[in-house]
A = this chain, B = another copy of it.
Amino acid sequence: MKNEIKRIGIDIGGTTIKAGLINDRGDVVDHREIETPKTPEEGINTISEMTADWQKEAEEAVGVAAPGPMDLARGLFLDPPNLPGWHDFLFVDAFQKKTGKRCLFENDANAAAVGEYIAGAGRDAKSLVYITISTGIGAGIVLNGQLLSGAQFSAGEVGNMIISEEGAAQAGLNQGAWESLASGTAMKKKVKEVFGLEEGAKELLQLVEKKDAEALRIFDRWIGHLASGIANIVHVINPEMIVLGGGVMQGKEIILPHLKPAVKRKVYASLEDSVMIEPARLGTKTGVIGASFLPLIQRL
Contact = CB atoms under 8 A, between A and B. Distances in A.
Q: How many copies does the complex hold?
A: 2
Interface string A150-181: 11111111111111111100000010100000
A148 B157 contact: no
A228 B175 CA distance: 10
Contacts of A69: 270
A73 B210 CA distance: 47
Contacts of A232: 161-162, 232, 236
A141 B208 CA distance: 41
Residue of A139, A152, A153, A224 ringed by the most chain B CB atoms within 10 A: A152
Contacts of A174: 231, 266
B161 A236 contact: yes
Interface stretch (A17-25, A44-52, A237-245): A237-245
Interface in A241-291: 266-268, 270-271, 274
A225 interface: yes
A123 interface: no
Contacts of A239: 150-151
A224 B159 CA distance: 19
A264 to B, nearest CB: 12
Residue of A154, A161, A235, A238 ringed by the most chain B CB atoms within 10 A: A235
A126 B143 contact: no
A144 interface: yes
Contacts of A297: none
Given A266-B174, A271-B152, A162 B238 contact: no
21 contacts: A141-B237, A143-B143, A144-B300, A150-B237, A152-B274, A154-B268, A154-B270, A156-B238, A157-B235, A160-B231, A160-B267, A161-B236, A163-B165, A164-B165, A164-B166, A165-B225, A166-B166, A174-B231, A232-B236, A236-B237, A300-B300
7 closest Cβ pairs, A-B complex: A150-B238, A151-B240, A154-B238, A164-B165, A155-B238, A162-B228, A161-B232
